[in-house]
Amino acid sequence: MAGLRIFETDPAAKPKRRQFADDFVGRFRSGRQVGNRPESLKTWRVTTNEVETADAISKLMGGTPAEWETTGEDFNEVITETDKVLIVINGPKALTADMKLYGRQGLIHHCDGVQSLMEEDKGELCGCPALMEDRKAQAKTGRGPSPYTNLVFRLAEDYDLGVFRFQSTAWKLAEVIHEIDNELSAYSGEVLAELSLELVEFTTKAGRDVSYRKPVVKVLKAWADAVSDDADTDY
């Protein structure tokens, strides 16, 4: 049976792909909540409110689409089979970072590390410690803010699928934001980059083996140049 063709005569009436209220089709996540405990993952987890988007992610990155319990719109998830993905970033404006601390009633501290970003005292000194070590100590005990890094991007292998975002509270990523910003600023327009979960392993002085995954953004080249590369180009 032929497909429905009612939009051929009135293309403007065709519904657009439904996105989140903030215009994102999905989120990349490096972990999940299991019971009351957070769990880090070895591969990317993508959540979305569209079954079609989840299916597309599954084909690109592996994994099986499934529903998960959430109060948000993105009730479809795919725990993919890859720890890295090629993405397209539209310049330094697509990468932002700030410091936030949430309480029971919501956001109670918001700053850029030096000045407050809260409406009631915006521009005033935020009161955070000067030393990075002290900042981390306060954040760990819940007395100070943690970094919130936000990255907005498209998938290089399916550019038209829509815009995704990744939010991280990792200090390791926040510490190199200025470097990534400089690399993005070196290009005019969109940039091809790699978003990965890099494995870090080391042994402490006490002899304890430690391993974890840290999010890494690696800027590769101008997207306009990458488009003309061979399909089997290894970045």
> Would you say 47 and 77 are in contact if contact means Cβ atoms under 8 Å apart?
yes
Q: What is the length of the chain?
A: 235
Together in a domain, 26 and 71? yes
pLDDT digits (tens, 9 = 90+) for 50-73: 999 999 999 999 999 999 988 888
33/76 same-domain check: yes
User: Residue 40 domain-assigned?
Assistant: yes
The answer to the question of residue 65 being in a domain is yes
Q: Are residues 113 and 138 in the same domain?
A: yes
Judge whether 152 lies within some domain.
no
Q: What is the reported pLDDT for 69?
A: 85
Establish if 135 belongs to a structural domain.
Answer: yes
pLDDT in tens, 14-34: 545 444 445 899 999 999 888
DSSP state of 143: S
Residues 24 and 73 in one domain: yes
Which residue among 48, 82, 116 closes a domain? 82
Q: Note whether 21 and 78 are same-domain residues.
A: yes
Residue-number span of the structural domain to which 48 is assigned: 17-82
| pLDDT: which is higher, 125 or 18 | 125
Q: What percent of the chain has pLDDT over 90?
A: 71
Give pTM, 2 decimals. 0.84
Look-up of token digits 């499934």:
66
| 3 state SS for 71-136 | CCCCCEEEECCCCEEEEEECCHHHEEEEEEEEECCEEEEEECCCEECCHHHCCCECCCCCCHHHHH
Cβ pair 174, 149 in contact under 8 A: yes
Count how many domains the chain has. Answer: 2
